[in-house]
Amino acid sequence: MEEENQVNQMEREDVRSTCEGYHIIKYLGHGTYSVVKLGQKGHEQVAIKFLKVKNEQERPEIIQKLKQEAYILDQLHNHDGIVKLKYFSDNLTYINQEKKGHMLSYILELQKFEEQTSRFYFRQLMKALIHMKKHNICHLDLKPDNIVFDSDFNLKITDFGFSKQANGLINDFCGGTESYKAPELLGTIAYDGSKVDVFAAAQILFAMMTGCFAFNNCKEQLYNLIKQNDYAQFWNIQNKLHQTLFPQGFSDEFKDLINKMIDPDFNRRITPEQCLQHPWTMGVEANIYQIQEDFNKLQDRINQQLEKYKEDYKLKQQMIRDQERENQKMRILQQKSSFKSRNNQQKNPIKEKKREIMRRHKFTFENRVLKRSLPTKMIDEILIYDDPQNLFCSIIDHFDKCGKIINIHETKYKLNVNIMENDQEKQEMLIELKNLEDDKLRVEVLNLGYDFIKFHQEVQKLKQSIQQQKDEVPIQQQ
């Protein structure tokens, strides 16, 4: 286990760095409490996971999670579809087998998998879940970025930080990802952990087939249709959303499999064994050699994107630190001289624009709290590094031009809007700005209307407007 400053230093390491005899080759990724690096010793390549410890108070809890994850991986060590634990200690979290990258990276690069490729990996996933079930282990945080490929591009489940071992129903839950939560996790009833994993696996299968999630969160219309067992309307919307990829619509066998995997009653939801025997799953699957040939061609592009993401992340973090220093200097200057402060404000177009929006809508940022949010890595979410006040005013400015603002909440970065078209109400939405743990801001948009297609279009317009305003030179002057 490494302290946070040591982990941050790792993100700047080059191939001369070593750890426990392994040469650090490259950065693989990071999570809320960890950074993962690729290490090499001779011909052996492994993934090395380092945990972040921000303060001594959280150390016992993180160590306990680490021990639980290591214990579960040790129980599942003899299955090819699950990442293997090679070494574990309080000083070095663990080393597992070589990764070729997260499944999510390949989905984003290819836009979607071919149906036979999706079927190949779905069968591997179900076999791994069946093996876990035999040991009474459930993952509880299945998603494409917790699935990796080994050197031969076989699927492996990883990141068992939220997993549990239980013989029977489970009465407690902490963690997981909003986009994959089964309905039973939203209440207080005991649940079957294996069935929770099946529900999440349906999202993974849908993402492989379409490049998108079947739903983005548990508050939107599509999720409510699932809870209401209204599969006809659910697939009617999905067919419209994916008409370009599937002009004839989704096959009956595929829809039947998804319906049975997302059944809101987990007692009716099918098991991993039944998923494996379903007619859609029993269809023709891709050849592993063809997958290897196709995916190897993507490896360089994915590595380049990963390096670019790492550099962008560092750059944005530096920009945030620079911005905070500038803000601190500005606060000191404002305290020294109100006259100088007024002059500085007049010279700053974004601040003038912000004050004008605040005057027009009669609101301030006093007593306004920016709520925190957990990371979800949803494909279509709006994430941005910016000053929350500037971003909130940019959102208000966007809806001033194309909609009608119903209400701006007094204590949150939150507003209700009605999108107008030809003086007719088109779509009601709830928008809230939240903060992630790495100071990135998320714009959460909730659909309060009934037209999901138009809602999706409005979200895309908002995303473009935010980026356009941020790219303008005056907006960049802080």
Q: What is the pLDDT of residues 64-93, one digit of tens each?
A: 667 677 767 767 766 776 666 666 665 554
Question: Is 99 exposed, middle or buried (CB count within 10 Å of its CB: 0-12, 13-18, 19+)?
Answer: buried
Helix H or strand E segment including 30: strand 22-30
Q: What is the DSSP string of 62-127?
A: HHHHHHHHHHHHHHTTT-TTBPPP-EE-SSS-EEEE----BHHHHHHHHSS--HHHHHHHHHHHHH
- Structure-token pair, residue 33: 């409490």
How confident is the model at residue 254, as a pLDDT? Answer: 97
The least confident of 24-28, 56-60, 398-402 is 56-60
**Confidence at 9, pLDDT banded by 50, 70, 90:** very low
- Cα–Cα distance, 301 to 282 (Å, whole number): 32
User: What is the rounded CA–CA span in Å between residue 303 and residue 288?
Assistant: 21
Q: Say whether 84 counts as a known binding-site residue.
A: no
Lowest mean pLDDT among 61-70, 88-97, 247-256, 270-279: 88-97
Stretch among 49-53, 54-58, 100-104, 196-200 having the lowest mean pLDDT: 54-58
Q: Which pair of structure tokens corresponds to residue 393?
A: 């005013």
In the chain, domain spans: 4-97, 103-286, 348-476
Instruction: Please give the pLDDT value at position 474.
Output: 44
Q: Say how many CA atoms lie within 13 Å of 263 toward its Cβ.
A: 13
Cα–Cα distances (Å) from 233 to 12, 241, 338, in that order, read: 50, 12, 59
Q: Tell me if the domain spanning 348-476 has CATH number 1.25.40.10.
A: no
> What pLDDT is attached to residue 200?
95
Burial 223-258 (b: 16+ CB within 10 A, else e): bebbeeeebeebbebbeebbeeeeeeebeeebbebb
Closest C-alpha among 444, 351, 428, 347 to residue 395: 444
Residue 8 has pLDDT above 50, yes or no: no
pLDDT value for 97: 44
How large is the average pLDDT for residues 164-171? 88
For the chain, what percent of residues have pLDDT higher than 70? 72
Domain 4-97 architecture: 2-Layer Sandwich (3.30)
103-286, what's its fold? Transferase(Phosphotransferase); domain 1 (1.10.510)
